Amino acid sequence: MKLGIIGLPQSGKTTIFNALTRGNTPTTASAGRIEVHQSVVEVPDPRVDLLSKMFNPKKTIYAKVTYADIAGLETGSAKSGISGQLLNQLNQMDGLILIVRGFNDDSVMHPNGSVNPLRDVETMTSELLLNDLIAVERKLEKLAEERKKGGTDKALNARQTELFEKLNKTLSDNKPLRELEFTAEEQKELSSFGLLTRKRLLTVFNLGEGQTAPEAKLDHPSIALMGKLEMEISQLSPEDAAVFMEEYGIQELSLKKMINLSYELLQVQTFFTVGEDEVRAWETKRGANAQESAGEIHTDLYRGFVRAEVVAYEDLISLGSMNEAKAKGKFRLEGKEYPVKDGDIMHVRSSL
């Protein structure tokens, strides 16, 4: 899972990135080259902690999210189409996190002259939408030219024209493409065609100390946090961070909520494998079946899938052991079409 951090200059993208990753690495754009810094962050999950205590494994592995700090997206960049280099980076992301400035700092000039978070959300989402609209219109023009010349696959041209006209109508109505539902065939058709508003979006309002989040009615999730403060806390030792948080009356860092929201944003769920060697959290898409989820562990388990031995996390914890779960009938054998549920503990049997 990879999420790209974007936003206007001076919005605090790098501050949030450093807070999430406990780092201090800036992202810069120079000489026409975009530098992208990435870091992998563990997804906090108390279930992993309890399972680790129960099985006392050699290794405990949490689910992970990769964050990429991406520079270069500014007001007006979509009017002629976002540059190929930047678009290539954005297209590699599974979702986008939009950092919006809410903090006041006279020493840090806002590119639009004043701090106005809701205006900036509108500005940046409009940039993404305009980029997609330009791309879709170009595709429709190309399809029209192919029809005039003839000699092309007429059925394919008709199918693509119908699809892209649907995209064009949605974008022209100022709506992002993530609001549309696509068939499996349409998703395959669009997989190689970079459209940014198809990606799920999370807005982060980056506030100063004591500020409250603006009241916003957005078509996507949002969270507010004090980026600079959270970065400073994240770079302290656990002991010093605990003292600092107690002094300021901070019960929980908003970063933890943001990481969990990031995980939620991508519409994935967690299942677990357990044992003496390893307790591990795995990600799989919501609605995935047992065979598809087995493939997240290893492709051989997908190809050679025979059955899955499954017990729900809540049942295992309440009963206290795997043996007790088996004795109480909570340990089940499931086939390849079994819809995996969040928190399932699975052991996959394979013929390979």
Tell me the average pLDDT across 24-37.
60
Residue 29's pLDDT is what? 47
Q: What is the 3-state secondary structure (H, E, C) of the chain?
A: CEEEEEECCCCCHHHHHHHHHCCCCCCCEECCEECEEEEEEECCCHHHHHHHHHHCCCEEECCEEEEEEECCCCCCCCCCCCCHHHHHHHHCCCEEEEEEECCCCCCCCCCCCCCCHHHHHHHHHHHHHHHHHHHHHHHHHHHHHHHHHCCCCHHHHHHHHHHHHHHHHHHHCCCCHHHCCCCHHHHHHHCCCCCHHHCEEEEEEECCCCCCCCCCCCCCCEEEECHHHHHHHHCCCHHHHHHHHHHHCCCCCHHHHHHHHHHHHCCEEEEEECCCCEEEEEEEECCCEHHHHHHHHCHHHHHCEEEEEEEEHHHHHHHCCHHHHHHCCCCEEECCCCECCCCEEEEEEECC
- pLDDT above 80: residue 78: no
- pLDDT above 50: residue 254: yes
* Domain edges within the chain: 287-350
Residue 31's pLDDT is what? 41
How high is the mean pLDDT of the chain? 89
Residue 347's pLDDT is what? 96
- For 186-223, the pLDDT digits (tens) are 998 898 888 999 999 999 999 988 888 888 889 899 99
Residue 33's pLDDT is what? 54
Domain 287-350: which topology?
Ubiquitin-like (UB roll) (3.10.20)
Least confident of 82-86, 154-158, 240-244: 82-86
Share of the chain above pLDDT 70, in %: 95
Tell me the average pLDDT across 253-259.
83
- For 151-191, the pLDDT digits (tens) are 778 889 999 999 999 999 999 999 999 999 999 899 988 98
- pLDDT above 70: residue 32: no
Q: What is the pTM of this model?
A: 0.86
